[in-house]
Amino acid sequence: MTDTMTKPAPINHWLGGKLTPGTSSRSAKVFNPATGEVQGLVDLASRAEVDAAVAAAVQTARSWRTVPLSRRAEIMFRFRALLDARRDDLARILTSEHGKVHADALGEIARGIENVDFACGIPNLLKGGYSEGASTGVDVYSIQQPLGVVAGITPFNFPAMVPLWMIANALACGNVFILKPSEKDPSASLFIAELLQQAGLPDGVFTVLHGDKEAVDALLEHPDIAAVSFVGSTPIARYIYQKGTEHGKRVQALGGAKNHMLVLPDADVNMAADAAVSAAYGSAGERCMAISVVLAVGDVADGLVDAIASRLPSLKVGPGSDAANEMGPLISREHRDRVAGYVGSAADQGATVVVDGRAQTFDGNGFFLGVSLLDHVTPDMDAYRDEIFGPVLCVVRVPTYEAGLKLINDNEFGNGTAIFTRDGGAARQFQFDCQVGMVGINVPIPVPVAYYSFGGWKASLFGDTHMYGPDGVKFYTRTKVITSRWPDPAGSRVDLGFPQNR
């Protein structure tokens, strides 16, 4: 192998419609999690680079907002066609930097494309209201205008889908967008930038600035950034919300999760077990909507734990580039070790380790960990309290529906939850009772379709608008209400009274 083949590739910013090397002389390593090798070095933007990018964006925002709706929609249609045609190429990028298996990467892309589908309807979505004759000779109407320059800060676990949650609506609404993707898997955002350019998006309307805390802080403090969308862990989401709003910005900050699946005694045990395995271990558990806790109600527990455990030996864990594999590695060595630590601490704290993923061995230096199943977990254990974000499923045995519901509602997070039952009345009661933003009824990962909006409750979301869908359009626009009349100047007179309907 030659030296050039082993040298990590530089991963640059996307500024003014082209790849642009950073000037900060700071960079971060980008790994291939399946091999443990460093394959890229991503530039980390300095505050000065953020300032320059925002200044350019402010200029571009003036012209982009004048581009007609029909033209913006046309760009979205073309972007959608390009994404569709290049699904495989994008999926390979996801697998190489994130580690998820190809089929899962294709699933992420499909759910991302849904958001572009939605944004293709932007002329319809931005229709305002019009009240003819609100008062005598007076018409009132509303228009929705873009905010200007907006920023998105995204997590490592969905390097294509989460940026698409934001970009599609933000651009279609007429905003200029600066994306600060995760520095762990930054290349998908550059691929998306190229497709947007091919779709006809004018240069400068979409910028990718790589970086870490320095770049994020510069974006949060910059007076010309009107709004920030964030998705990531709860401590950072809270920080982004506080700092962004302190600096006068509109902020939506989606945080972490601990999603419980409540299995009632009447549930079909095999169906519930299939769902729990799929939702707990898909993408190595690195999904904010992963099921990490099964609440087994009453006498369903023994059969359910057996059914889940029986499915685990046949799961194929290995490099995501091999189509036979169902689960890939974790994002980093440190994260893999942290996840493994929870299996150990749960055992020490009294849980039963039914399947120990630490026992599975793998060739090479990839960040792999086998799947783990923990039974008799209790709410005081670390494995229950923390978001593990790995292939570890905890089973908590509860005596009743009410006891299970209480755990769900007492949890600090409220992203997703699911109930498995054959009783429609119980499911309906659960949907009414639970303090969670997204609820599945016999659906383990209830990520809403793109024409609804995505958002958790409690520590899973800071801000009052959810992500994408109708809330996305609301977040990326400001409403203006116009009151208009065209009177005959001959009837004009001074009137100091407060305007009222006549």
Please report, as residue ranges, which positions from 396 to 455 form the binding site for ligand NAD (by CB under 6 A): 415
Return the number of the residue (213 or 385) whose C-beta is nearest ligand NAD: 213
- CA torsion sign for 403, 409, 410, 414 is positive
Contact (CB, 8 A) for 41 and 30: yes
The encoded tokens of residue 339 equal: 């996840």
Q: How far is the CB of 9 from ligand NAD (least distance, A)?
A: 20
Q: Rule CB under 6 A: is residue 233 a binding residue for ligand NAD?
A: yes
Q: Is 120 a catalytic residue?
A: no
The encoded tokens of residue 126 equal: 């931005």
Spacing of C-alpha 379 from chain mean position? 27
What does each C-alpha distance from 156 to 49, 182, 389 come to in angstroms? Answer: 22, 5, 12
Q: How far is the CB of 192 from ligand NAD (least distance, A)?
A: 15
Q: How many residues does the chain have?
A: 502
Closest of 428, 425, 426, 420 to residue 268, by C-alpha: 420
Q: Rule CB under 6 A: is residue 257 a binding residue for ligand NAD?
A: yes
Return the number of the residue (61 or 459) whose C-beta is nearest ligand NAD: 459
Options 73-81, 88-96, 157-165, 370-378: segment touching ligand NAD (CB under 6 A): 157-165
Return the number of the residue (250 or 335) whose C-beta is nearest ligand NAD: 335
Contact (CB, 8 A) for 476 and 173: yes
Options 71-79, 150-158, 393-401, 492-500: segment touching ligand NAD (CB under 6 A): 150-158
Please report, as residue ranges, which positions from 181 to 210 form the binding site for ligand NAD (by CB under 6 A): 182-183
E-assigned strands of 147-300?
149-153, 176-180, 206-208, 227-231, 250-254, 259-263, 291-297
Return the number of the residue (153 or 294) whose C-beta is nearest ligand NAD: 153
Spacing of C-alpha 158 from chain mean position? 6
Contact (CB, 8 A) for 208 and 189: yes
Q: Rule CB under 6 A: is residue 462 a binding residue for ligand NAD?
A: no
Q: How far apart are CA 114 and CA 161, in angstroms?
A: 9
Q: How far is the CB of 413 from ligand NAD (least distance, A)?
A: 8
Q: How far apart are CA 96 and CA 92, in angstroms?
A: 6
Residue 77's identity, in one-letter code, is: F
Options 26-34, 57-65, 149-157, 391-399: segment touching ligand NAD (CB under 6 A): 149-157
Q: Rule CB under 6 A: is residue 156 a binding residue for ligand NAD?
A: yes
| Torsions phi, psi for 223 (to 5 deg) | -65, -20
Q: Rule CB under 6 A: is residue 163 a binding residue for ligand NAD?
A: no
Q: Rule CB under 6 A: is residue 242 a binding residue for ligand NAD?
A: no
Return the number of the residue (172 or 218) whose C-beta is nearest ligand NAD: 218
Q: How far is the CB of 414 from ligand NAD (least distance, A)?
A: 10
Q: Which distant-in-sequence residues (6+ apart) come within 8 Å of 91 by Cβ?
A: 102, 105, 106, 108, 109
Q: How far is the CB of 3 from ligand NAD (least distance, A)?
A: 30
Q: Rule CB under 6 A: is residue 288 a binding residue for ligand NAD?
A: yes
Among 30, 50, 168, 236, binds ligand NAD (CB under 6 A): 236
Among 12, 27, 46, 157, binds ligand NAD (CB under 6 A): 157
Options 112-120, 155-163, 400-408, 420-428: segment touching ligand NAD (CB under 6 A): 155-163
Size of the site for ligand NAD (CB under 6 A): 27
Q: Which distant-in-sequence residues (6+ apart) come within 8 Å of 501 by Cβ?
A: 134, 135
Q: Rule CB under 6 A: is residue 460 a binding residue for ligand NAD?
A: yes
Q: How far apart are CA 235 and CA 75, in angstroms?
A: 36
Q: How far is the CB of 255 from ligand NAD (least distance, A)?
A: 6
Among 212, 382, 386, 423, binds ligand NAD (CB under 6 A): 212
**Which one from 120, 173, 288, 434 is the annotated catalytic residue?**
288
Return the number of the residue (64 or 384) whose C-beta is nearest ligand NAD: 384
The encoded tokens of residue 51 equal: 């300032």
Return the number of the residue (165 or 476) whose C-beta is nearest ligand NAD: 165
From edge to edge, which strands make up the β-sheet containing 9-11?
Answer: 9-11, 37-43, 27-32
Among 49, 387, 463, 471, binds ligand NAD (CB under 6 A): 387
Q: How far is the CB of 232 from ligand NAD (least distance, A)?
A: 3
Q: Rule CB under 6 A: is residue 375 a binding residue for ligand NAD?
A: no
Return the number of the residue (98 or 397) whose C-beta is nearest ligand NAD: 98
Q: How far is the CB of 438 from ligand NAD (least distance, A)?
A: 9
Return the number of the residue (146 or 255) whose C-beta is nearest ligand NAD: 255
- Concatenate the DSSP letters of all residues of 54-119 into one string: HHHHHHHHHHHTTS-HHHHHHHHHHHHHHHHHTHHHHHHHHHHHT---HHHHHHHHHHHHHHHHHH
E-assigned strands of 192-330?
206-208, 227-231, 250-254, 259-263, 291-297
Residues of this chain that bind ligand NAD (CB under 6 A): 153-158, 162, 180, 182-183, 212-213, 216, 231-233, 236, 254-257, 288, 387, 389, 415, 456, 460
Write out the catalytic residue numbers: 288
